[in-house]
Amino acid sequence: MMERWKGRVALVTGASVGIGAAVARALVQHGMKVVGCARNVDKIEKLAAECQSAGYSGTLIPYKCDLCNEEEILSMFSAIKTLHQGVDVCINNAGLAHNEPLLSGRTDGWRNMIDVNILALAICTREAYQSMKERHVDDGHIININSMGGHRMVPSTDEHFYCATKYAVTAMTEGLRQELREAKTHIRATSISPGIVETEFAFRHHNSDPERAAAVYESIKCLKAEDIASAITYVLSAPAHVQIGDVQMRPVEQES
């Protein structure tokens, strides 16, 4: 069922590493034109070259964009419209966590999590929907990379604010589904909520304590970024009348 997406355009935010890079690669393998955005596109350019060398039927187009800046997001969507007509699939993958507890955290750390995890996701969602609407695309898909932290509070003070932003993603995805229904469109909305995934995430989160970050991934057999990419291709492959609202996935050995 991925055949119907061949030649169509997907936007993947945070595509330089981890889940975003794995998703971009998988969609290019399936023949999609993938616009992969990040603040630094060096790694996306390298991935694009790898995809081309591998003979994948799609293409990966790197795009430099700071998702904390709405003007840059709007410029990106304008460029996609000019060069590729518009977005058919939007993968809101970009996200981050800072070690900023509720009782002692820095406001700028909280604000950065809100800007990336909530506002950028909302802006990209709005612009992707408007792109679909103006081209009469009625089978598009908006997929939010959420977290198990968006469904239960992790008993760790340095993740409480991050979890709050992911609870917002859970609410926004359901709100989006309801608004799409009210608009009488068949565009679908999905939240993918992984547990522990072995990426650079923990090393960025605990950037002052790399041993603690490594311990996160050594304690159990973690999910891989490719597992999340497989979940996304599964969701995209579902028959047009099937709405997969929320996919929760975690390592078998993860406790909560």
- CA dist 35 and 204 (Å) reads 24
**What's the angle, vertex CA 154, arms to CA 91 and CA 122, rounded to 5?**
30
Answer for the pair 212, 206: CB distance below 8 angstroms, yes or no.
yes
184: left (phi over 0), alpha (psi -120 to 50) or beta: left
CB atoms within 10 A of CB 52: 13
> Using DSSP, how many helices (H) and how many strands (E) does the chain show?
9, 7
162 is catalytic: yes
**Which residues is 136 bridged to in the sheet?**
none
Catalytic member of 56, 63, 129, 162:
162
Sign of CA dihedral 193, 170, 44, 230: positive
Answer for the pair 60, 36: CB distance below 8 angstroms, yes or no.
yes
- Catalytically active residues, by annotation: 162
